[in-house]
Structure 1
Amino acid sequence: MSNKIGEKFQITSFGSSHGYAVGAVVDGCPANLELSAEDIQNELDKRKPGTSSVTTPRKESDEVQILSGIFEGKTDGTPIAGVVFNKNQHSKDYSMFKSTPRPSHGDFGWMSKYGNYDYNGGGRGSGRVTIGHVIGGAIAKKLLKTKGIEIISHVTQIGSIKAEKLSLDEIRENIEKNPIRCGDLEAAKEMEELILAKKSQGDSVGGIVETIATNIPAGLGEPVFERLDGDLARILMNIGAVKGVEIGMGFGVVDKAASQINDEYYIEDNTIKTKTNNSGGIVGGMSNGMPIISRIAIKPTPSISKCQNTIDIESMENKKIEIKGRHDPCICPRVTVVAESSTAIVLADHMIRSGFIHPSNLDG
């Protein structure tokens, strides 16, 4: 089982939904980065459950403890281990799933591949393991900030409700003002109403999360197998519930002519820019200095209380199932920080690999 990502800046994720703890070990962070538990906690608070009516009611403080890698308020170049202890598991809610895989969950795949499957809360396959992503991403974001790089994720669509296109400043200002983490406050109200309506029906709804990374230098990534867009697509697609990834215009390029979408270059204040950014900041597998823009399509949370068809793999009989427990009617708002974190991990790795960040000592 693969639980590690990154080449120079590596994240190893561990733990399960109803296990003792979840967390991550971050290896390859250079020494002398100012870092505290609060830096990581601020990011974890954005994804923790039980914060609004549109998230799961499971109550977890998600308080991180740093076990290693920091000395006198700065990283020391050694592995940084962060752990969050689970405190509010309701494992009894999941006993019925021991041999009856839930529709559109990973249960059947786990049972088929590993045999010994922790079905409580989805075990290692639960969205709760993204705490490891966020621990790694919080450190990556702090590292990228030393180079002026900022990453923001926001919800652009829930169901059929779409947000208006806004400036980065407007998005940055508004996402903290609503539980959807949407930059368009009017659309956010409609999105919240839709999520709550689906929740009352015992159902769920999906959406789209967009991530924007700014102040990226040109030249990150490789032209063939270590392409920056390839690595971004890989880590974003590895987030549970993500069923599609776009960079720049994405699937919107298919009905356009090159003359309509090519990003033409120009020089302003002795800086090379492009007139448009349809490529999303990445061309030929490498960054071109423009903002890197990605979008992920997130499916409706498959844990719903409506009656569904499944099977019993022990008796080999058809079954009916009604899923109980505490689940998000829409996972998109909590995925925003996971998308930010995942993007930050890839960018930090490539910044080190390309020589923009010293691999050992920030003061070196």
Structure 2
Amino acid sequence: MSNQLGNLLTLNTFGESHGIAYGGVVNNFPAGLLIDFEAIQHQLDRRKPGQSAIVTQRKESDKVKFLSGIFEGRSTGAPIGFIIENENQKSRDYDHLAQAYRPSHADYTYDQKFGFRDHRGGGKSSARETINWVAAGSLAKQLLGGIEIQAYVSSVGDIFCDMPYQELDLRKIDDNIVRCPDEETALKMIDRIKEVKKQGNTIGGSITCVVKNVPAGWGEPVFGKLQAELGKAMLNINACKGFEYGSGFSGAEMLGSEHNDLFNENGTTQTNLSGGIQGGISNGMDIYFRVAFKPVATILRPQESIDKEGKRLTVEGKGRHDPCVLPRAIPVVEALTAFVLADMMLIHKTRKL
């Protein structure tokens, strides 16, 4: 099973949704950095279940314990090992799925690949895996110093926050439970999610991420382009269905004379349709991208499906599930962004004296 994130700075993880614990090992983390443990736990708290009425009500403290690689509060240069214990599993909620395949889940594909699967919460395919990514990404964020990474919910279903990120006060992202900095739009999003939840259904949407203060020069020019590394990280998020940066798909409708970012004398550009990346390398402008998420596959209503023998049956979700993944995915997007950028930063330091 491919289980590594990163190139020079790497993360290897372990754990399943209904196992004893999740955890991981971060390799090649530089020595001597004073670790802010409260900042790491804060990001885990932003991701954890049970924090509002529009997310799953599974109750987990999600407290991280560091096992190695840190001494007297500073990184030692050795692998950083960590663990996060599971506390509130209800495995019996999944007993009816031991032989059945849930539509749009990884049940069928896991059986085809491995010939065996953990049906309790999806095992390794569970989105609870992202807890490892938030812990590691929060460490990586501390390597980046003054680089700012802020993600927010920019759409829920057909409700969009249409204001450009430059006109939004991104300090307000956590002021509401859906994590959209535009208050009026946030209220509409929250009402829509609650409505869908009452119907036993789920809804998708998108997250926009903005990164400021990345210096020019990060990223590889051929394989390992910065946008490709960011896209790969985002597309590994369980419910992710799409990634675009800069002008994205709208750039396909433009002429070159409209799309080119003309230079100022100091090397900045008058526009930023490139999204802060040119030729796979950061150019010093803001990096911004959007990530599309599908509706959560588990719905609390009957659906036709099949079992392992191909016999038709009806399955229905039970237990505690997110009606919308977006609010809890915000720290995941930010953490993966930080990990990719920290990896690119360390690689860049090997490229020039």
The residue aligned with 1:46 is: 46
Q: TM-score, normalised by structure 2?
A: 0.97
Shift in alpha-carbon separation, 1:13–1:168, aligned structure 2, 3 A? farther
Shift of 1:37: 2.9
For residue 282 of structure 2, the aligned residue among 282, 287, 301 is: 287
Matched, 1:311 2:306: yes
Return the alpha-carbon distance in structure 2 between the equivalents of residues 114 and 36 of structure 1. Answer: 40
**Paired residue secondary structure (1:328):** coil
Return the alpha-carbon distance in structure 2 between the equivalents of residues 168 and 276 of structure 1. Answer: 12
Return the alpha-carbon distance in structure 2 between the equivalents of residues 187 and 152 of structure 1. Answer: 18
Alpha-carbon contact 1:154-1:171 (below 8 Å) kept: no
Matched, 1:122 2:117: no
Alpha-carbon contact 1:164-1:184 (below 8 Å) kept: no
**Paired residue secondary structure (2:202):** coil
**Paired residue secondary structure (1:254):** helix
Letter in 1 for 2:277: I
Residue ranges of structure 1 left out of the alignment (5+ in a row) = 359-364
Return the alpha-carbon distance in structure 1 between the equivalents of residues 3 and 35 of structure 2. Answer: 24
Q: TM-score, normalised by structure 1?
A: 0.94
Which string of whole-angstrom CA distances, capped at 9 and with x for unpartnered residues, describes residues 99-129 of structure 1? Answer: 1111111111101111120110111000100
Return the alpha-carbon distance in structure 1 between the equivalents of residues 192 and 167 of structure 2. Answer: 26
Alpha-carbon contact 1:37-1:65 (below 8 Å) kept: no
Shift in alpha-carbon separation, 1:352–1:169, aligned structure 2, 3 A? farther
Return the alpha-carbon distance in structure 2 between the equivalents of residues 152 and 357 of structure 1. Answer: 28
Query: How many residues are treated as equivalent by the alignment?
Result: 352
Alpha-carbon contact 1:211-1:339 (below 8 Å) kept: yes
Return the alpha-carbon distance in structure 1 between the equivalents of residues 267 and 221 of structure 2. Answer: 20
Return the alpha-carbon distance in structure 2 between the equivalents of residues 98 and 171 of structure 1. Answer: 47
Alpha-carbon contact 1:351-1:357 (below 8 Å) kept: no
Shift of 1:42: 1.0
Return the alpha-carbon distance in structure 2 between the equivalents of residues 151 and 169 of structure 1. Answer: 16
1:246-265 aligned within 5 A: 246-265=244-263
Shift in alpha-carbon separation, 1:43–1:356, aligned structure 2, 3 A? farther
Return the alpha-carbon distance in structure 1 between the equivalents of residues 248 and 215 of structure 2. Answer: 22
Return the alpha-carbon distance in structure 2 between the equivalents of residues 208 and 130 of structure 1. Answer: 17
The residue aligned with 1:181 is: 179
The residue aligned with 1:155 is: 153
The residue aligned with 1:238 is: 236
The residue aligned with 2:20 is: 20
Shift of 1:357: 11
Percentage of matched positions with identical amino acids? 44
Which string of whole-angstrom CA distances, capped at 9 and with x for unpartnered residues, describes residues 199-249 of structure 1? Answer: 000001000001111101111111111111111110110010000000111
The residue aligned with 1:138 is: 138
The residue aligned with 1:194 is: 192
Letter in 2 for 1:272: G
Matched, 1:349 2:338: no
Return the alpha-carbon distance in structure 2 between the equivalents of residues 45 and 249 of structure 1. Answer: 33
Return the alpha-carbon distance in structure 2 between the equivalents of residues 286 and 342 of structure 1. Answer: 18
CA RMSD of aligned residues (A): 1.5
Residue ranges of structure 2 left out of the alignment (5+ in a row) = none
Return the alpha-carbon distance in structure 2 between the equivalents of residues 130 and 84 of structure 1. Answer: 11
The residue aligned with 2:325 is: 331
Return the alpha-carbon distance in structure 1 between the equivalents of residues 162 and 243 of structure 2. Answer: 20
Shift of 1:171: 3.5
